[in-house]
């Protein structure tokens, strides 16, 4: 079971992350998340039951994805990219604000350090271009429409399997995703902390 500081940090980070997806979608013209009660800072609105159980007992979990309807967006490809980026960017902003607080006060509470680490980790992990992560939407929308359709078909077939393999197949004492994102996370943390 996760320690309380990690659990509380994850709860806050995931809630803020999903809220900002909903907020961005709403601001860009899609009321779907608002109509489903997802434009909320209530963590219960954003927790996925299986993702929460996994978080508690395995240490890897997820929130409930925010639904969007691209037909409500003025510029679907651009707006979908902005919505996808809103979650990870919110986590990075929270990490920066927390780091500035530490620098200004010279107080290093372990909770805030944990909070910064989790926010940065969540942001970088979600930017990977693998479904269902936010980075996959960004990646697809940067491609031509034809290329995006081909990649999306492959993602629909193999994306979740690829993510599971990258997360759970051991490589030495780690996994492939950790080998990819840990240097980036450590670089950001070295600047912030």
Active site residues: 18
Distance in angstroms (rounded) separating the CA atoms of residues 117 and 9 = 9
Cα torsion 159, 163, 168, 173: sign: positive
Q: What H or E segment, with its residue span, contains residue 171?
A: strand 170-171
**Three-state secondary structure readout of 115-158:** HHHHHHHHHHHHCCCCCCCHHHHHHHHHCCHHHHHHHHHHHHHH
Q: What is the DSSP letter of 2?
A: -
Distance in angstroms (rounded) separating the CA atoms of residues 50 and 61 = 8
Distance in angstroms (rounded) separating the CA atoms of residues 187 and 134 = 21
Instruction: Specify whether the backbone of 159 is left (phi greater than 0), alpha (psi in -120 to 50) or beta.
Output: alpha
- Is 44 in contact with 61 (CB distance < 8 Å)? no
């Amino acid at each position: 079971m996760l320690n309380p500081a990690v659990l509380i940090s994850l709860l806050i980070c995931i809630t803020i992350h999903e809220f900002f997806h909903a907020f961005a979608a709403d601001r860009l013209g899609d009321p779907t998340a608002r109509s489903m009660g997802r434009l909320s800072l209530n963590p219960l609105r954003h927790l996925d039951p299986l993702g929460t159980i996994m978080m508690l007992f395995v240490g890897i979990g997820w929130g409930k994805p925010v639904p969007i309807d691209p037909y409500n967006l003025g510029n679907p490809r651009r707006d979908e990219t902005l919505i996808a980026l809103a979650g990870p960017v919110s986590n990075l902003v929270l990490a920066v604000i927390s780091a500035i607080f530490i620098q200004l006060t010279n107080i290093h509470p372990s909770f805030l350090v944990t909070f910064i680490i989790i926010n940065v980790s969540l942001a970088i992990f979600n930017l990977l271009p693998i479904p269902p992560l936010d980075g996959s939407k960004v990646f697809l929308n940067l491609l031509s429409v034809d290329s995006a359709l081909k990649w999306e078909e492959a993602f629909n077939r193999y994306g979740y399997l690829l993510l599971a393999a990258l997360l759970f197949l051991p490589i030495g004492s780690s996994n492939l995703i950790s080998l990819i994102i840990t240097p980036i996370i450590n670089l950001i943390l070295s600047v912030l902390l």
